[in-house]
Amino acid sequence: MERRYFGTDGVRGVAGEPPLTPEFVLRLGQAAGAFFKSTVRRPVVLLGKDTRQSCDMLEAALAAGLMSQGVRVEHLGVLPTPGVAYLTRALGATAGVMISASHNPYQDNGIKFFSAAGDKLPDEAEAQIEGLLNQEFKTDGIGTVSDFREAERMYLDFLASKGGSLEGLKVALDTANGATFRLAHRLFQRLGAEVFVMFNTPDGRNINKGCGSTHPEFLRQQVVEMGFDVGVAFDGDGDRAILVDRRGREFHGDHVLYLNAMMRREPGVVGTLMSNMGLEVKLREAGINFYRTAVGDRYVYEKLKAAALSLGGEQSGHVLFLDHAPTGDGMLTAILTLKAMRESGRDLAEWYEALPMYPQLLKNVRVRDKHGLMKNGELHAAIQRAESQLAGLGRVNVRPSGTEPLVRVMVEGPAELIEPVSSELVALVERLDAAK
């Protein structure tokens, strides 16, 4: 069954506008509650959120819908997405739900479901929930709601058990005014680091605003000016981490994959179409297989499971360590990477230099109909011409964003070629969109 509301990362949109209105979210809760009750006699659903101002409204509507179908709801409060996933599995809940739009601005929000195993709810289950949205619901038992007050403690205990000593390390943290704002500094201090934290005063509207993993510029500046050994920036819901080396350089997901793959001697690593060719080349030299998937952690996860591998991720800093957790976790990524760094005897700056990157240019074009544009024959022909211009020395990837009304144009190859090739494709996308 084709899904209308669920995308690659839950139900997303602008809070207060369809589909994220209280009325729709109430029905979504009813449909999800009916689905869970068809699989478990007394379903229990854990409900977490980030710091956006719309979370309370959506949380109340979703909880009411779930309870109307006899579901017991446990509020986790503000907690990173991977914390919800971890607790869903650890507590034996029927499902978990996170209310967040991840790295998007505060006006956006989303609703993401986790299975009892702590991974994303399968496509088939999301399709079944959508299939229930049009039916008339009657109250089917009355569920209860309570606050689970041990959520932060249990999640921090889990993370601390995975990290190594950070004694003597000076770390700057950027929590993006998001879901890690209460937890990140406590974790790093617990592991022995000297911690300076910034962007940790959420007001409901400043999440991801000029900060976090999508805007690490200020963090990079502070690391250099204040002499920190490393910086770490999380995104709004805490499933991504971008590190910064002592020279202020962005140590992104490809660097994280390389360092961990080399130290763990992984047989294979999964990246995406956006992963830099430099990573693929260096892993191949080390005898480590490299696999590419479509962009999106869902596809990385599926390939990891199919190939029986444990390490994969994206440049964005969304990295999966399936031998530790069922979903991407920014804080886990950071402490495992720093643990591997310390075991190697080299710092992040040395690891950064050990992975030469191919020049890569990514441009985002805001459009009205991203999927319609991707079916345009003129665009496909232009992409083929662009690839021939690179003459086997690089790659072209044009794709719709999974979460925003954008077409992303990525060109990788010789520095003197990627700018004109990219500009030509961007101009075409803008012209085709304007003609619609």
Q: Residue 370 contacts by C-beta under 8 Å, 6 or more apart in sequence?
A: 400, 401, 405, 406, 407
Q: What is the pLDDT of residue 404?
A: 86
Note the pLDDT of residue 4. 86
Q: Do domains 160-353 and 360-434 have the same CATH topology?
A: no
Residue 241: which of 271, 216, 259, 204 has the closest Cα? 216
d(CA 285, CA 180) in angstroms, rounded, equals 37
Mind listing the pLDDT tens digit for each residue in 403-423? 789 999 999 988 888 999 999
* Rounded (5°) CA angle 239-240-242: 160
Question: pTM for the complete prediction?
Answer: 0.89
Fold entry, domain 160-353: Alpha-D-Glucose-1,6-Bisphosphate; Chain A, domain 3 (3.40.120)
- Give the model confidence (pLDDT) of 366-414 as tens digits: 999 999 999 999 999 999 999 998 877 788 999 998 778 999 999 998 8
> Which residue ranges make up each domain of the chain?
6-150, 160-353, 360-434
DSSP category for residue 8: B
Measured distance CA(241)–CA(231) in Å, rounded: 10
User: Which residues are designated catalytic?
Assistant: 102
pLDDT, one tens digit for every residue, the chain (436 residues) = 567 899 878 999 999 999 999 999 999 999 999 999 999 999 999 999 999 999 999 999 999 999 999 999 999 999 999 999 999 999 999 999 999 999 999 999 999 999 999 999 998 999 999 999 989 999 888 999 999 999 999 999 999 999 999 999 999 999 999 999 999 999 999 999 999 999 999 999 999 999 999 999 999 999 999 999 999 999 999 999 999 999 999 999 999 999 999 999 999 999 998 899 899 989 999 999 999 999 889 899 999 999 999 999 999 999 999 999 999 999 999 999 999 999 999 999 999 999 999 898 999 999 999 999 999 999 999 999 999 988 777 889 999 987 789 999 999 988 888 999 999 999 999 999 998 7
Where do the DSSP E strands lie in 100-211?
Answer: 108-114, 145-147, 170-174, 194-198
CA distance 19 to 27: 11
**What class has domain 360-434?**
alpha beta
CATH superfamily ID and name for 6-150: Alpha-D-Glucose-1,6-Bisphosphate, subunit A, domain 3 (3.40.120.10)
Residue 120 in 3-state DSSP?
Answer: strand
Q: How many CB atoms lie within 10 A of CB 149?
A: 10
What angle (nearest 5°) sits at the alpha carbon of residue 188, between those of residues 92 and 304? Answer: 50
